[in-house]
């Protein structure tokens, strides 16, 4: 488990020098976890001048709430650095099979609100964690089946194509 102090030292002293030498131009995203802790990490990662220059930005996940004040504080710690929404998915399970479509809409609203709030509070972009999954929430190597914005139903697709 990384602490912000360990990550700052590792990236500053080891990762950034190797990437600059062997893969110049590669961006390093620090933290990359839930927004409820991002401001504390930003203060440490950007608090040391050498570490600050080693990071290009910070990644955040949507778990734990909108936490817009934490995004504001992260931006204030280093206005020249980007903040990128890097992960969000609805778990457990897939609502595709749910009889009540209002559950689909509720999940869509939740996701949309998170994206909009991120963009309103200094995130420069947003990356979808699961762009497309099957009706069971897979494929998935861990078995923690989650939802996606696009659900592919190969059985239904085959039935439509042969109709």
Q: Judge whether 22 counts as a catalytic residue.
A: no
pLDDT at position 96: 65
Residue 163 pLDDT > 50: no
| Per-residue pLDDT reduced to its tens digit, 13-66 | 999 999 999 999 999 999 999 999 999 999 999 999 999 999 999 999 998 899
Overall average pLDDT of the 132-160 stretch: 77
Query: Which residues have CB under 8 Å from 145's CB, separation 6+?
Result: 91, 92, 93, 94, 136, 137, 138
Cβ–Cβ < 8 Å for 154, 96:
no
pLDDT digits (tens, 9 = 90+) for 53-108: 999 999 999 988 999 999 999 999 999 999 999 988 777 777 766 667 777 788 78
Instruction: Please check the confidence at residue 147 and state whether its pLDDT lies above 90.
Output: no
pLDDT at position 99? 63
* In contact, 115 and 126? CB cutoff 8 Å: yes
Q: Is the pLDDT of residue 159 over 80?
A: no
**Pick the catalytic residue: 72, 87, 103, 109?**
87
pLDDT of residue 111: 86
CB count in 10 Å sphere of residue 89: 19
- 94 or 115, which is more confident? 115
């Amino acid at each position: 488990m990384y602490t912000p102090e360990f990550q700052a030292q590792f990236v500053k002293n080891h990762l950034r020098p190797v990437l600059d030498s062997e893969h110049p131009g590669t961006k390093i995203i620090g933290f990359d976890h839930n927004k409820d802790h991002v401001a504390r990490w930003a203060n440490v990662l950007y608090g040391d001048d050498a570490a600050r220059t080693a990071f290009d930005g910070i990644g955040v996940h949507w778990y734990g709430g909108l936490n817009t004040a934490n995004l504001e504080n992260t931006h204030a710690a280093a206005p020249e650095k980007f903040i990128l929404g890097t992960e969000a998915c609805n778990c457990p399970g897939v609502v595709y099979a749910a009889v009540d479509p209002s559950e689909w809409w509720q999940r869509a609203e939740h996701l949309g609100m998170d994206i909009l709030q991120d963009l309103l509070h200094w995130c420069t972009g947003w990356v979808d964690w699961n762009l497309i999954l099957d009706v069971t929430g897979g494929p998935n190597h861990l078995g923690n089946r989650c939802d996606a914005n696009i659900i592919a139903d190969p059985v239904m697709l085959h039935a439509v194509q042969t109709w």
